[in-house]
Structure 1
Amino acid sequence: MENKNLKISPAPYIKKGLGINKIMIDFIIALIPAIIAGIYFYKIDAVKLIITTVLTSIIAEGLWNKFVKKTTFLTDLSPIVLGIILALIMPTYVPLWILIIGSVFATIVVKQFFGGVGQNFMNPAAATKAFLIASWAGVMAKPVTDATSSASEAADVVVPLIDKIIGQPSGSIGEVSILALALGGLYLVVRGRISLRGPIAFILSAMVMYNIFEKDLLLPGAFFLAAIFMTTDYGTTPMTRVGQYIFGVMSGVCASIIAVKGFNPEGPYYAIIIMNLFTPLIDYITTKKYKVKKEA
C-alpha cells in the first residue's frame, strides 16, 4: 500500500472555495457603516486614525513577510481588517505615534509571532488596547480641562434613546453608533461569515448583569463592537456551538463586572482577552469524545 504524507493544519478551517481574502472583503464591507458613523461624528480626526492604523498594519505585515522570506509583500487582506478594528476602538485624542506602536504590536507581536492570521491565541485589537492602556495610561486617558464643570455637564445631559442607538459622539470612534455596528453584523450573518451564537449570548448576559447592577439596559457601543467583531473571531473563540454560547455568556458577564464594578469602559475588550485564554479549555470540554474499540 502506498504511503502518503498528510499535512494537517491547525484550526480554524475554511470551506473549499472560500478564500481568506473573500472573507476579509466581507468584514471590510461590514465595518463600513461604523467607519461612516465615526467619520460623521469625529470628522477628520477619525480619518487620520483609520488611515494611520491601516497603513501601519499593512507595512508592518509586509516587512515581517520580507523578514521571514515569504514570496509576497502582503499575503492577504487581514492587516486592513485589523487596522480598521484597531482604529475603531481608539478615541480620537490619542496621538498618532501611539497608534503606530499599537498597529505594529497587534500585527507582529500578537498575530505574526504565533503563526499569522488564525493562529494567534488572543484577539489582536483587544490585546493591543489593553497593552496601550497599561503602557501609556496617562496618554490613553481622556484629557479633562475642568473636572468640576465637565462632571456637572455630564450629570445634566440626558441622551434620548434614539440618539444612543443611531449615534452619539462618546467613547471610541467605532462605538458611536449601535445601529451601524448592528448593520455590519447583519451583513456578516447574511453572508454566512459569522454566527449569532456568540454575539447574542454576549449581549443578553451583559444586559442581565446590567439589570442586576441597576444600570441602563441599553449597553454602550463597546459591548456591541466586541460582541459582533470579537466574539466571532475565527482563531481566538471556540469552534463548537455550545462553546460559542459559553464563551459569549462568560464574556458578557466579565465585561459587565469590569465596566460597572471596575469603573472601566474598556471592560468588553478586557473580557474578550481574558476569555481567549479559556478558549482551548472550552473547546476541549464541549467537543464530543468518541470511544474507539481496539480489535484483537
Structure 2
Amino acid sequence: MTLTLRALGKTYAGRRVLADVSVELAAGGYTCVMGASGSGKTTLLRIVAGLERQDAGSVLLDGRAIDDLPAERRPLHTLFQDYALFPHLSALDNVAFAPRLLGVRDPELTARARALLRDVGLDMSFETRKPAAMSGGEQQRVALARALAGAPRWLLLDEPLAALDRPLRAGLRRLLRDLARRRGLGCLHVTHDPEEALALADRLLVFGGGALLAAGAPAELYAAPPSLEVARLLGEVTREPGGDGWLRPEHLRLGESGATGVVRSLACLGDRWEVEVEIAGRVHLSRSPTPPACTPGAAVALAWDPARVLRFAAPPA
C-alpha cells in the first residue's frame, strides 16, 4: 500500500511548520524522518495518522485520498514514545484489545494475542503482568505487539525508542526492522537520532524548517549530503585541514605525513577513539577504531583521501 504525501502544508499561529512536502513511499518500506526539534517531522506524522489536519495538500494510500477519514478508520497504527498501555490490563489483554473490538473472540483471540507477544520476544510469563510490573523495554514490546494486533498496513512511530537506554534501543531497533520486513509492513518512523535512522531506514527523509531538505538511501545521504545542514543532522563533520571543505571524523586519520598539528585531547567513545588536533588555530576531529599512539601535547600529522572531502555551495544571501 503506497503512501503518498502531496504538497502538504501546515501553519501554526503564522509560523510555517510544513511547506509543500511531497514524497511517495513504497509499500513495505521502512522510512525514517530525521530533523532537529521544530523541523516539522512530528507534525507530518500526526497529519498522516489523522490526528491533525493539514492546511494544504493531501495524504493518499494507493492513490486514494484519506484526508476525510478519522484516525480510527485509517489502516494505520501510531506508536508513541509514552506507549499508552492500559494500566489496568495485563499484557495479554492490552494486545487483545483491538482484535476484541473487531469482533474476534476466544479461542482465536487469546491465540492471536499470545502469538503477537511471542513475535516481539515475550514469553508466557508476561501474559498476566500489568504495565507497572514491566521495564520500559518490556512495555515497548507490548505496545508494539498491540500495534500489530489490528493488522495495520502502515505503522507510524513517533520517537518510540527515545526513552530507553542504549542497549535496549539497539535490541528493539533490530526487532522493529525484523518485524517490519517479515510482515511486509510499511513504517514511517520519526527520530532525532542519526544512528537509529541510518540503521533502520530503507529510505531517509531529512527535514529542516518545515521543508524536506533531502530524501534518499541512508548510506548515500551520509556519504554525499546535499548541504552542510543535512551533513550535520546525520553525523559530525570537521573542517578539512588547510582547506574549505568538510570531512567525517572517521575519514581524517593520524599518519606519518600530512597536515601537522598538536593533540589537544583524546577520548574513548566505546567502540572508537576520538582525537582533537589543533592546526593553525583550528581544531579538527579524527576518529579511529584503534587506540591512538599519542598523548595530549604531542605533534601529529593528519591525512585524508581528497575524494572524501565534502564541498557545499554557499547558502543564499
Q: TM-score range by the shorter chain?
A: under 0.3
Q: TM-score, normalised by structure 2?
A: 0.25
Higher helix proportion (structure 1 or 2): 1
Which has the greater radius of gyration? Answer: 2
